[in-house]
Amino acid sequence: MGTIVTQTLYVRGGSGTVYENGESEAATDAESIFIMQLLEELEGRELSWRAEGSEVAEINAGAGGEVHVVPSSSLREILGQIWQISADSDGALDVTLGRLSRLWNMDELAAEGGQMSVPSIEQVRSALEDTGYERARFSGDALILPAGMQLDLGAVGKGIACDRVSAYLHSQPQITGAVVAVGGSVVTYGQKPDGSPWKVAIIHPREEGSYLGVLSLTGEQYVSTSGDYERYVTVDGVRYHHILDPATGYPARSGLCSVTIVCDGGLTADALSTACFVLGPERGIALAENYGAEALLVSEDGALHMTEGMKKIFSVGE
């Protein structure tokens, strides 16, 4: 997924650091290796638009004409959840913008620290014409996409990965606690041996290398952050980042530079962090509340906007 995975697992009878109560940390044990394989399979078989042979790549390969496919049941479920959030966010989340995200090509540009020529208005308009989640249709088990439409599940992939990790953790009774981060998406599970809350630090969107604050979480929670500092290129003083506004085809200018969501599902957290970023502070908070999610939105001027529940779990600094 082009990102860094970090995992800490507490396992009964593990071979790593052993705690007083008999639980232990298993840094390189079978469980953590299995999780990496699980994530590679998720990407390679289902979600990646780069990995040849993945379901999404095959759907996109057919985009020369109208696409008529029956996705696997797991992909159908994923798409169903995504389409619901697209509708609830007035299209702020739209995974049919593949042609646009490829036009901006921010992933590769930012990784290379690259030179970018800003796409022309005509190019953006043309790519925009091939987008629009409401133009895709579900008919029974089939998904029908108009010619030219390309899927990009980048906004939800890391959150879905957290959901898969959680399902695995639940199936392993020897695992008593875990915190797994897939890029900007994190899942916490169970308990730490000392019973203290999980601490998840939120990156400061404007001060490289420092943190804005820390979340204190108990049990199973999903955290996702979307920020304009993750992948961006600056041209003539303008920051072009990787979160696009499906209404304009340009990087979202909602006045926000970072959004963190905490809720009870990985896909939901990841989808909402992207959607809220596009919607801006007021509409973003309303969308999060609608989903019973907690949200922390950071404005470009540094102001913090939080749901009531977020104020209880987030502490500035530390």
Contact residues for ligand AMP, defined by CB under 6 A: 92-95, 97, 101, 107, 152, 154-155, 226, 242-244, 246, 270, 273-274, 278
Give the shortest CB-157-to-Mg ion separation in angstroms.
8
Considering CB distances under 5 to 8 angstroms, the limit depending on partner class, which of ligand AMP, Mg ion, none binds residue 95? Answer: ligand AMP
Q: Give the one entry of Mg ion, ligand AMP, none that residue 154 binds, where binding means its C-beta sits below a cut-off of 5 to 8 angstroms depending on kind.
A: ligand AMP
CA 267 to chain centre: 7
DSSP state of 86: H
Task: Output the six-digit token pair for 184.
Answer: 């900007």
221 makes contact with Mg ion (CB under 5 A): no
CB of 9 to ligand AMP, least distance (A): 24
Structural element, H or E, at residue 241:
strand 238-241
Question: With contacts defined by CB under 5 A, how many residues of the chain interact with Mg ion?
Answer: 5
Residues 6+ apart with CB under 8 A from 159: 185, 222, 224, 265, 266, 267, 268, 269, 270, 271
Interatomic CA distance for residues 251 and 234, integer angstroms:
12
Give Cα separations from 285 to 18, 19, 66, 106, 258 (angstroms). 42, 41, 37, 27, 13
Which residues are within 8 A (CB) of 111 and not within 5 positions of it... i.e. 6 or more apart?
A: 2, 231
Q: Is the separation of the CB atoms in 265 and 235 below 8 Å?
A: no
Pick between residue 225 and residue 307 the one whose CB is nearest to ligand AMP: 225
For Mg ion, the closer of residues 119 and 184 by Cβ is 184
Shortest Cβ 81–ligand AMP spacing (Å): 13
Residue 274 binds Mg ion (CB under 5 A): yes
270: contact with Mg ion by CB under 5 A = yes
Least separation in angstroms between CB 186 and Mg ion = 12
- Shortest distance, position 117 Cβ to ligand AMP, whole Å: 19
Closest residue by Cα to residue 155 from 98, 84, 232, 76: 98
Best CA proximity match to 214, nearest among 197, 201, 223: 201
Distance CA 231, CA 286 (A): 26
Residue 114: CB minimum distance to ligand AMP, A: 15
The mark string for 131-170 relative to Mg ion (x by CB under 5 A, - otherwise) is: ------------------------x---------------
From the list Mg ion, ligand AMP, none, partner contacted by residue 244 (C-beta under 5 to 8 A by kind): ligand AMP
Q: Which is nearer to Mg ion, 32 or 260 (CB)?
A: 260
Q: Residues in the site for Mg ion, rule: CB under 5 A?
A: 155, 226, 270, 273-274
